[in-house]
Chains A and B, each alone.
Chain A
Amino acid sequence: ADIISTVEFNHTGELLATGDKGGRVVIFQQEPESKNQPQCRGEYNVYSTFQSHEPEFDYLKSLEIEEKINKIRWLPQKNAAQFLLSTNDKTIKLWKISERDKRPEGYNLKEEDGRYRDPNSVTTLRVPVLRPMDLMVEASPRRVFANAHTYHINSISVNSDHETYLSADDLRINLWHLEITDRSFNIVDIKPANMEELTEVITAAEFHPDQCNTFVYSSSKGTIRLCDMRASALCDQHAKMFEEPEDPNNRSFFSEIISSISDVKFSHSGRYMMTRDYLSVKIWDLNMETRPVETYQVHEYLRSKLCSLYENDCIFDKFECCWNGNDSVVMTGSYNNFFRMFDRDYRQDVTFEASRENSKPRSVLKPRKISTGGKRKKDEISVDSLDFNKKILHTAWHPLDNIIAVATTNNLYIFQDKLN
């Protein structure tokens, strides 16, 4: 139940939310930069913990609904409180996280501990005053968006209009208004009339960062469709479809599996989008549908191991990817607690490992190398010694700074740039 299932910075980067398999949300807050160490950015400490979703049982279908948090998305901050959307397989909830650092004291009819005073004993009146108290962070569910998805929700995305958001399951995408919980609009439906003809499912969806009418969704066939909500109420007809033809030389039993897209993310600029499939990360220019503009191999050495990875189910792992603040670097996870960064400008890539044994706090991460050839050099790790149980599926990059959050199975690592 401690397995981290999603990681997300808020829009300022001050808060970092994680969701886990047990339905809990833990929010970390960055400490303000201290005057003693102006060079050092603040650390992230636990700010709030709450139970977002509980396991449920669908009696009609005899199905248990997992409480695992699939995605968390922050809303842009409008007032003192913070809002986030968290979702499991079936239900999305809007949570309000607010601080309380004062409490009223001096009631006339109540004692300080809450017991009611005998009205006859009241001889004078006083005005209650607010006194400071220890900071308390409260999380309260403000909206529950339920019963709109037959299949498992895989994505939620807040629109740039800050009023609506979309939720996507395997076959449908719904559009919600944040204030309205009893109805949603279905904007994409790829369910075939005859389920025997099912050939692909929706794997991820996201709104464009600036254009509130545009969103994309990726499929298990490796295609991405861009839709314009102005075109029609039901966006089954895509405005653009992005697909790269398959390389016939690489055809195998598992071609369909490894071409399935596990994550899609727009760049902050809105000009590009990034997709992650099992072995690679691809950057697409929204103006060019025929092929990606950049392709980065995450762990090509696994191509010859697909059969074992199929056997142990690792081939179904859904890796996420993320952009840095200025879209110059992209990051994604791999196995053996490795994560990879690709610098688009300098055409460099680097592999790091997130583990307590191999790096002490405050030490500089050492780049890792995987030996693919016959001879293994010193410090290189051979492919056969990789631990496929240690996988990094979820990573997040601070929107403004070079701070990254990397989730291994049970632990969250936060790394930052060395400053001096």
Chain B
Amino acid sequence: MEVDRGAMDCAVDAQSLISMSLMKIHSSRTQRGGIKLHKNLLVSYVLRNARQLYIREKYAEIYRMQQYEEVMAVCSGIQELEPLEPLEPLEPQGAEDAEPEQPGRAAGCGDESRAAGGREPPEPPYYRSCCMEDQFSQNCNKTTVLDLDTHVVTTVENGFLHQDCCCAAAAAPQCAPGAAARKRKVDSAGCSPDAEEPSDYTAGRKRLKREECSGADASNISNLISIFGSGFSGLLSRQADLEQVCSKQALASLGAWTRAIVAF
């Protein structure tokens, strides 16, 4: 999608649009008369458009970084053969990699939004990728691809498939309360639910456990972007407190997730 950015009058960077959209969604919940389905649908389109642009730009930047890193890796490989100085831990690139991963974890939250009542319990969480932990960052130079239609996730790391580690075991205990908080109707996020489907409306308004926010603002925005990655379902009923929602642990507590799309 080509965006005619020249025509925009205000500071149209994707990030400000995303935060603006999220605030609108958040405030729509307290509006009189209930959530307006039409308006929230339109806001979700803006969110999607901004997210697509943001991710595209982000990965263009990361791709450039990766190219640089590959060159660096070759150089350090040469250095290893002649071990004159200790290697610097590749912190910066880990942090870079962490960013695309975090969005993915968040995105699944959208998928998890299911109707209350007759539906099956939330799916078990996906395993969190190792790259999110800084200590693994040296070994990780991965890109993950998500098909938003089929929700198939493939992870590719420098030419070979990466085995996701079992960090989910640590995350699992946190899933239960999170799942309960999110066990609400999909459409109640955007509209009045049907009378025939029981609505866990008030549950959706419970605040997530306060977790400290991790990562830079940029990664938080990525998480938020990916929350709404899976279309309208991303419009969950969580309190859209940016700091809460974007924190790693808060996301882990929400159960399954999918990883962000990587365009390359």
Which A residues form the contact surface with B (CB < 8 A)? 58, 60-66, 68, 89, 150-152, 154, 170-171, 194-201, 203, 220, 248-257, 260, 303-308, 310-311, 313, 316
Contacts and interface: CB of A to CB of B under 8 A. Distances in A.
A256 B193 CA distance: 24
Interface in B109-132: 110-111, 113, 115
A316 B8 CA distance: 18
A201 B38 contact: yes
A40 to B, nearest CB: 42
B191 interface: yes
B195 A60 contact: yes
A170 B192 CA distance: 10
Contacts of A307: 8-10, 12, 17
Contacts of B185: 195
A251 B32 CA distance: 33
Nearest to A384: B9
B122 to A, nearest CB: 14
Interface in B203-239: 230-233
A170 B38 contact: yes
A61 B193 contact: yes
Given A199-B232, A256-B46, A306-B8, 8 more contacts: A63-B192, A66-B33, A198-B41, A198-B190, A199-B41, A203-B38, A260-B42, A311-B20
Nearest to B195: A150
Interface of B: 1-4, 7-10, 12, 17, 20, 24, 32-34, 36-39, 41-42, 45-46, 49-50, 53, 110-111, 113, 115, 185-187, 190-195, 199, 201-202, 230-233
Given A220-B38, A249-B4, A252-B7, A64 B33 contact: yes
A251 B201 contact: no
Nearest to A318: B38
Nearest to B110: A196
A51 B3 CA distance: 48
13 contacts: A58-B192, A60-B199, A89-B33, A195-B186, A195-B232, A196-B111, A197-B231, A201-B37, A250-B4, A252-B8, A253-B12, A255-B49, A310-B46
A210 to B, nearest CB: 30
B233 A248 contact: no
B39 to A, nearest CB: 5
